[in-house]
Structure 1
Amino acid sequence: MGDALQIFANKGDLAHVALFLWASAASALLVWSLREQAASNQRFQDFVEEVARITSLLDP
């Protein structure tokens, strides 16, 4: 790993490595955020369905 960083440092491409790492982290955070949002939406949908089921049981 040190050799790879040395090559990038010698060629002046260290900024590209930093940009790649930043973009990768941002993309991973976006994917994680979207998964959490989807899970939250599913939990809310389950809650609404349970409320509807209880309401239908209590309605005469």
Structure 2
Amino acid sequence: MESILQVFATRGDLAHLALAAWALSASGVALAALGGLSRANERIDAFVRELARFNARHDDP
């Protein structure tokens, strides 16, 4: 890892290194947000399913 940083530093490609680090971190944050949205969707789906079961049990025929 040290040699890769040294190559970037000597060639003056620090902007590319910073851009790659930003892209990796942004991708990680996006994946974490997507996972959170997926879990929230599952919880809402379970709630709606239970609400439908409750309504089906307590409906007047």
TM-score of the aligned structures, taking structure 1 as reference length:
0.89
Residue 2 of structure 1: how far off its partner (Å): 2.2
Pairing of 1:1-60 with structure 2 (within 5 A): 1-60=1-60
Counterpart-to-counterpart distance in 2, 1:3 and 1:27 = 25
Point out where structure 1 has 5 or more consecutive residues left out of the alignment.
Answer: none
Identity of aligned residues (%): 42
Please report the RMSD computed on the Cα atoms of aligned residues, expressed in angstroms: 1.0
Q: 4+ runs of 1 displaced by more than 3 Å?
A: none
Counterpart-to-counterpart distance in 2, 1:33 and 1:10 = 36
Residue 3 of structure 1: how far off its partner (Å): 2.3
TM-score of the aligned structures, taking structure 2 as reference length:
0.88
Paired positions, count: 60
